[in-house]
Amino acid sequence: MVHIATAAVAVSIAVVVVSLSVIFGFKEQISTLVSGTVADITITSPYANRQPELHPISDNEALRDILVSTRNIAHTERYALRSVVVRGENGASGIALKGVDAEANIDLIAERLESGALPRMEEMRRKEILLSQTIAEKIGASTNSRVELLLLDGDTPRREVFKVCGIYRSALGETGAELALTDIRNVQKLNGWEPSQISGYACRVVDTDLASQSADIVNLRLMHEYEGEDSLYARSAEEQFPVIFGWLETHDVNATVIIVIMLVVAIFNMVTALLILVLERTRMVGILKSMGMQNSTIRQIFTLRALRIIAVGTAIGNAVAVGLLLLQRDLHLIKLDESGYFLSEVPVALGVGWIVAINIVFVAIILVATHLATSIVGRIKVAEAIKYN
C-alpha cells in the first residue's frame, strides 16, 4: 500500500506539471505568433476597421512620445493598410496589404519564409509584395511572378502591378493568411496619402499578460494628454482576436479540472495508505498510549511517515515530468496539426517558480489531509489495542 500511495503521488504531480507546462507553452507560443503577425497593441482611428484607407492618422513625435513612455511598451512601429484584391494566373482573392518600414519587427515572418525574400526597404521604392502561401496557391502566384492589385476608388477601378518577392507560411492559419507585406510608401501612394499619414502604430510589449491593461492606459493618456486632431483608439491583440484568446482561456478550465482530479486521487490513496498503516500498528499504538504517550505525539509519528511517502512520490513525479518535457522541448517527439493548433509540435514551458509553487501547494494539501486522517489514533482504546493481533 505504501508503494501504491507513492506511485499515486508521483503520477499525480507528474500529470499536473506536464499539463501546466503544455498549457503555459501554448499560451506563450500563440501570444508570440499573434504579436509577430500583427502586434500586442495597435493604435488606429476607431473608424478604420472596415476601410482603413479612408481614415489615416498623422505620424508625429508627440504621439510617439506617449507610446514610448507608456509602461510595458518596448517597441513602436508605424504601418499603413489598404484592402485590395490581388489577382494571379488562376484567380483572385481579397487581402490586407500592410505597408511597413525598416523599423518594423517582422522576424517571425522572416522565419516562416517558404521561398524568396522579404520586401526591400531601400531608398528607392520598389513595388514588391510578400504573400502568404495560402493566398499564393489560391491565385496561382509564385516567387518572382507578377500579380495585379485591383483597387476601387469610388466608381473607378484601378490596377497596379506588383512583383511577388517571396511567400511565407501564415503563423495563424486561415486567420492571418490574408496579410500581405510591402513597403509602407507603396500603400501610402495607393491611398493617396502624404508621407506623414499612416494607418496607425503597432506596439510590442514586455509582458503580454498585461497587454490589455497597457492598451487601457494608452487610451487614458490619449484622452488626457494628446492634443492632436486625430481620433485614436488603442486595441490589444486579445480584443482583435477574441476567438483565439477565448480558445486559450478554455485551457485554464482544463488545467483546473486536471489539478483537482489528480489532487483527489493523490489524497485518496495517501489517506487509504495511512489508515492501513495505523490499523496494522494498532497494538503498537495501544502500547505507546499505555506508556503515557499523547495522541498528538503518536499522530505526528504517522504524519512524518506520510511526509516521507509524499516526498519520495513528489521527487519521482518531478523527475519523470521534467525529463519528458525536456525530451519534447529538444527532440519535438509529439507533433501537432498546424492547421488546427497553429503549432507544428506540442509546446512546453519550463519555469522553476511555478513548478516549485505547484509542488508546495500539492504537498501541503495532501499533508493536511493525511494529518487529519490520523485522528483515528484517538479512537483506539488501550485495552482493546493491546489484545489486537
DSSP state for residue 229 in the 8-state scheme: S
pLDDT tens digit string along 120-136?
988 899 999 999 999 99
**Does residue 260 sit in helix, strand or coil?**
helix
Range of the domain at 11: 2-31+244-387
Q: Are 56 and 194 in contact (CB under 8 A)?
A: no
Please give the Cα distance from 303 to 375 (Å, whole number). Answer: 11
Please give the Cα distance from 307 to 34 (Å, whole number). Answer: 45
pLDDT tens digit string along 89-125?
999 999 999 999 999 989 889 999 999 999 998 889 9
For residues 186 and 171, membership in a common domain is answered with yes
pLDDT at residue 285, as a whole number:
73
For residues 91 and 139, membership in a common domain is answered with yes
For residues 275 and 232, membership in a common domain is answered with no
Closest CA to 278 of 369, 387, 378: 378
pLDDT at residue 384, as a whole number:
67
Task: Give kind and range of the element (H or E) at residue 57.
Answer: strand 57-58
pLDDT at residue 251, as a whole number:
80
**Does residue 298 sit in helix, strand or coil?**
helix
pLDDT at residue 320, as a whole number:
96
For residues 22 and 89, membership in a common domain is answered with no
pLDDT tens digit string along 199-255?
999 999 999 889 999 999 999 999 999 988 788 999 999 998 888 888 888 888 888
- The yes-or-no verdict on residue 321 having pLDDT over 70 is yes
Please give the Cα distance from 150 to 161 (Å, whole number). Answer: 9
For residues 126 and 157, membership in a common domain is answered with yes
For residues 309 and 353, membership in a common domain is answered with yes
- The yes-or-no verdict on residue 78 having pLDDT over 60 is yes
Closest CA to 6 of 311, 270, 313: 313
Please give the Cα distance from 289 to 284 (Å, whole number). Answer: 9
For residues 141 and 63, membership in a common domain is answered with yes
Closest CA to 182 of 154, 147, 153, 158: 147
Task: Give kind and range of the element (H or E) at residue 246.
Answer: helix 242-280
CB neighbour burial string for 195-234, b if at least 16 within 10 angstroms, e if fewer? eeebbbbbbbbeebeebbebbebbeeebeeebeeebebbb
Q: In percent, how much of the chain has pLDDT > 90? A: 53
CB neighbour burial string for 98-114, b if at least 16 within 10 angstroms, e if fewer? bbbeeebbbeebeebbe
With bands split at pLDDT 50, 70 and 90, how would you rate the model's confidence at 146?
A: very high
Please give the Cα distance from 321 to 262 (Å, whole number). Answer: 14
pLDDT at residue 385, as a whole number:
63
- The yes-or-no verdict on residue 387 having pLDDT over 70 is no
pLDDT at residue 383, as a whole number:
64
For residues 235 and 271, membership in a common domain is answered with no
pLDDT at residue 140, as a whole number:
95
pLDDT tens digit string along 147-189?
999 998 766 778 999 999 999 998 887 778 899 999 999 999 9
Can you list the alpha helix ranges (DSSP code H) found in 96-182? 107-111, 133-139
With bands split at pLDDT 50, 70 and 90, how would you rate the model's confidence at 275?
A: confident
Please give the Cα distance from 320 to 326 (Å, whole number). Answer: 10
Closest CA to 313 of 280, 266, 375, 371: 266
Lowest mean pLDDT among 79-83, 188-192, 311-315, 382-386: 382-386
pLDDT at residue 20, as a whole number:
92
Task: Kindly report the average pLDDT of the chain as a whole number.
Answer: 89
Closest CA to 169 of 121, 108, 127: 108
Mean pLDDT across the stretch 11-19? 92
pLDDT at residue 262, as a whole number:
87
Which of residues 201, 216, 240 is at a domain's end?
240
Please give the Cα distance from 270 to 9 (Å, whole number). Answer: 8
For residues 145 and 89, membership in a common domain is answered with yes
CB atoms within 10 A of CB 68: 13
Which of residues 240, 270, 298 is at a domain's end?
240
For residues 217 and 348, membership in a common domain is answered with no
Number of domains the chain is built from: 2
Placement of cell 500511495 in the chain: 5
For residues 264 and 349, membership in a common domain is answered with yes
Which of residues 240, 255, 270 is at a domain's end?
240
Q: Are 36 and 109 in contact (CB under 8 A)?
A: yes
For residues 226 and 249, membership in a common domain is answered with no
Beta bridge partners of 235: 42
pLDDT tens digit string along 32-54?
888 888 899 999 998 887 788 88
What is the Cα 209 distance to its own chain's centre?
9
- Please tell me the pTM assigned to this model: 0.80
With bands split at pLDDT 50, 70 and 90, how would you rate the model's confidence at 343?
A: confident
Tell me how many degrees the CA angle 344-350-353 measures, rounded to the nearest 5.
150
pLDDT at residue 220, as a whole number:
95
CB atoms within 10 A of CB 354: 14
With bands split at pLDDT 50, 70 and 90, how would you rate the model's confidence at 389?
A: low
Please give the Cα distance from 299 to 370 (Å, whole number). Answer: 10
